[in-house]
Amino acid sequence: MNMRINLKIAAIITGLVALTSCSDLIDPALENIQSKELIRERPGMIQGLLLNAYLRIPTNGYNFSEMATDDAVSNDLNSGFLNMATGQWASNNNPVDRWSSANSAIQYLNEMLLEVGNTQYASNPNVNQMFLDRLTGETYGLRALFMYYLLQAHGGISGGELLGVPIFLEPQSVDSDFNIPRATFDACMEQLYADINKALELLPMDYYNISNEGMIPSKYREFGAQVSEYNRVFGDDAKQLVSGRIVMAIRAQAALLAASPSFNLDNDQTKWEDAATYAGSLLNDIGGVSGLDPNGVTWYNNTGVIDALGAGNNPPEILWRGSIGGPTNNLETQNFPPTLYGEGLVNPTQNLVDAFPMANGYPISDPASGYTEDTPYANRDPRLAQFILLNGSTAGPSGTTINTALDSDTNDGLNKVESSTRTGYYMRKLLRQDVNLDPVANTSQRHLQPRMRYTEFFLIYAEAANEAWGPMASGSFGFSAYDVIKAIRERAGIGMDNGDAYLESIKSDQAAMRELIRNERRLELSFEGFRFWDLRRWKLDLTETAQGMRIENEDQFSVINVENRVYQDYMIYGPVPYGERLKFSALQQNTGW
d(CA 17, CA 21): 7
Our measurement of the distance from residue 507's CA atom to the centroid of its chain's CA atoms, rounded to an integer in Å, reads 29
By C-alpha distance, which of 476, 557, 463 is closest to 516?
463
Contact 199, 137 (CB under 8 A): yes
Per-residue DSSP letter, 583: H
Q: CB atoms < 10 A from the CB of 100, how many?
A: 12
Contact 394, 401 (CB under 8 A): yes
d(CA 517, CA 482): 9
Bridge-partner residues for 546, per DSSP? 563
Bridge-partner residues for 156, per DSSP? 163
Using DSSP's 3-state secondary structure scheme, residue 549 falls into strand
Our measurement of the distance from residue 543's CA atom to the centroid of its chain's CA atoms, rounded to an integer in Å, reads 24
Per-residue DSSP letter, 328: B
Low-confidence ranges of the chain (pLDDT < 50): 1-30, 32-33
Bridge-partner residues for 400, per DSSP? 395
Our measurement of the distance from residue 391's CA atom to the centroid of its chain's CA atoms, rounded to an integer in Å, reads 29
Bridge-partner residues for 358, per DSSP? 380
pLDDT in tens, 36-63: 665 566 667 788 899 999 999 987 558 8
- pLDDT value, residue 45: 77
Query: Domain segments of the chain: what residues?
Result: 1-33
- The alpha-helical segments, DSSP class H, found in 336-412 are 350-355, 382-387
Contact 251, 193 (CB under 8 A): yes
CB proximity list for 338: less than 8 A, separation 6 or greater: 344, 410, 411, 412, 416, 417, 419, 420
Q: Find the helix packing angle between 125-154 and 99-115, rounded to 10°.
A: 160
By C-alpha distance, which of 561, 567, 563 is closest to 540?
567
By C-alpha distance, which of 441, 430, 398, 453 is closest to 330?
430
d(CA 570, CA 89): 12
DSSP states of 487-520: HHHHHHT-STTTT-HHHHHHTT-HHHHHHHHHHH
